[in-house]
A and B are shown apart, each in its own frame.
Chain A
Amino acid sequence: MAKRSVRMAKWVVSGPPLVYLLVFFAIPALIMVLASFRSPGEFGGLAPLVDEAGKLDINLDSYARFVTETVYLQVFIKSAWYAALTTLICLLLAYPLATLIAKSPRKYRDLLLLLVILPFWSNFLIRVYAWMIILGPNAALARLVNGALAWFGVEPVPLLFSAFAVLVCLVYVHLPFMVLPLYANLEKHDQALLDAAQDLGANGWQRFWRITFPLSLPGVYAGAALVFIPALGIFAIPDILGGPNDTLIGNLIKQQFLETRDWPFGSVLSIVLTVAALALAGIAAWVGRRGGGATARA
């Protein structure tokens, strides 16, 4: 195995994907970073890099705008709120589901897992559309709720185009991502530990809170990362199901790029979102590596 042919083989195999991703991922990202330092063009897009006077168009205007006009930061915080709520609700729903699957007889587990993943394989927009139907003003649910409210003399509440709709759909779309890592973790738990705890006098709640839950934390963190980070940047759901108050960071970015066409500013927003996402991903990876050794087998 001559060392030179190994090195050559390495480049032959890793070269093509490397080049492709450099061109279609890394360079666009760099261009976007650069764009954040430029000025918007007269008709949208970007102004020429070198203007008529021969000066290089590099400035911090867009960043300044982001920092000074606090409304944008508020949108970020709102997005984080939605993402956090989504994560929490997903956790509350996914935990029992994952526990049930993990405790099922082995031959049913694959099927049960598949049933959880199957909806995920349907088109994303279909899943959003489904909630449009369910929460629609003429649909059964709305009429039921509003009928009950009318009974108490309260004004009808629109279920659609509201924060509620956005949240429900966010949970709906991200639930499988919380179930899978949780299941992967819970599946490894040793029943003997719980039996021992019961033997020592712990009741059901204590066994869960003091033993099962701490051991499941790596799975919880993984699931939280898989839900929170995508949810942070979502735009289609608020776009379709949300009301005017439900503009999240994803919607803002879309507006800047496709409607207002202030690309430098859109780039600034994107960069802030990217940094936040990468930071969170990094934290999740670090936490996962630290606590990952704590599987339930003593």
Chain B
Amino acid sequence: MRRRSPWLWATALFAYAFLYVPLLIVVVYSFNDSRLNAEWVGFTLDWYRKLAADDDMLAAAGNSLLIAVTASAVSTVLGTMAGVAMHRYKLTVLPVLVLTPIAIPEILMGVSLLIFFVLLNFTLGLVSVALAHIAFCIGFVAIVVRARLAGMDETLTEAARDCGASPANAFRYVTLPLIMPGVIAGALMAFTLSIDDFVITFFTAGAGTVTLPLQIYSMIKIAVTPEVNAVSTLLMLLTLLLIVVAAKLSPTLLRSDRET
């Protein structure tokens, strides 16, 4: 049945347009020589210049990057361990702890961590944000790693041990290389989630610490200028870059599985 209903095409195209036009508008207006994001006046790079000179924004970007690198590193390690443990052993508590943060609205984790840190007299700042990010990223990494493990041939681990490898060596030389695409995908996912996070950061950052999303938020609420468009465009470029990198890494590493 090669004919597709024109309605199908129309709605689908509308959906794609719906998804992309708003983002395109943001990008286009970042070059707009007008304070108001209303209509096109002329081309300019002024907003990008202002962005480069905006110390607050740069500091926020630096904070976001620092937190994202830390959070993705730690959550990748812990998440991989969780994924391996959930796949290999019959566990009751860990799966619940790993998966619930993903199932509930983010705001719940944000406020409960706020109470937690305050009660412990733990100063809210970069560290508290990083700790919070790690907590919700572990689940995503664990899911990706576990899915990768599920697709892996179990007898390979047995064969490794049969060949004289201790369980640690079997993991290091056989299992880990084969799940590496999943681990990397998880790491990239954690990094993106961390850079992107607004809600949990909002509650755990405290007064003095600003991350990029928080900075954008205050700019939106207080004084909107197309500088926001500029930083948004740059962020989108960064994300695109990360995805291209991930795609480049995956196919070569992807081939190593499922071909026994």
Contacts and interface: CB of A to CB of B under 8 A. Distances in A.
B216 A9 contact: no
A125 B111 contact: no
Interface string B200-240: 00110000000011001100110010001100100110011
B38 A139 contact: yes
Contact of B216 (A35, A126, A233, A234): A126
B198 A14 contact: no
Contact of B22 (A97, A121, A127, A229): A127
A24 B16 contact: no
A216 B123 CA distance: 49
A21 B202 CA distance: 20
Contacts of B36: 136, 138
Question: For this complex, into which size category does the number of interface residues on chain A fall?
Answer: 35 or more
A131 interface: yes
Contacts, number: 241
Interface of A: 5, 9-10, 13-14, 16-18, 20-22, 24-29, 31-32, 35, 45-46, 93-94, 96-97, 99-101, 103, 115-116, 118-119, 121-134, 136, 138-140, 172, 175-176, 191, 194-195, 204, 229-230, 232-236, 240, 250, 253-254, 257-258, 263, 266-267, 270, 273-274, 277-278, 281
B103 A136 contact: no
Contacts of A236: 198-199, 217
B224 A118 contact: no
Given A123-B235, A267-B115, A278 B103 contact: yes
Given A13-B84, A175-B15, A270-B107, A257 B97 contact: no
A32 B5 contact: no
Nearest to A128: B220
A127 B119 contact: no
Given A10-B89, A126-B216, A103 B22 contact: no
B85 A13 contact: yes
B29 interface: yes
B105 interface: yes
Given A10-B85, A278-B104, 20 more contacts: A13-B84, A14-B91, A17-B98, A20-B78, A20-B135, A29-B112, A96-B8, A99-B8, A116-B19, A121-B242, A123-B196, A126-B236, A129-B26, A133-B29, A172-B18, A194-B1, A267-B111, A270-B107, A277-B105, A281-B104
Shortest 7 CB-CB distances between A and B: which pairs? A233-B105, A130-B22, A14-B85, A138-B38, A28-B116, A96-B11, A17-B82
B111 A130 contact: no
Nearest to B109: A25
Nearest to B117: A28
Given A14-B91, A124-B213, A133-B37, A277 B107 contact: no
Interface of A is mostly: helix
B66 interface: no
Contacts of B15: 93-94, 96-97, 175
A5 B168 CA distance: 12
A263 B115 CA distance: 8
B134 interface: yes
Most buried by A among B8, B12, B94: B12
Interface in B2-30: 4-5, 7-9, 11-12, 14-16, 18-23, 25-26, 29
Contacts of A121: 192, 196, 239-240, 242-243
B25 A130 contact: yes
Contact of A274 (B20, B108, B203): B108
B132 interface: yes
B50 interface: no
A26 B109 CA distance: 10
B246 to A, nearest CB: 10
A230 to B, nearest CB: 6
A31 B117 CA distance: 11
Most buried by B among A13, A101, A267, A270: A13
A11 to B, nearest CB: 9
B11 A133 contact: no
Given A25-B100, A277-B104, A31 B235 contact: no
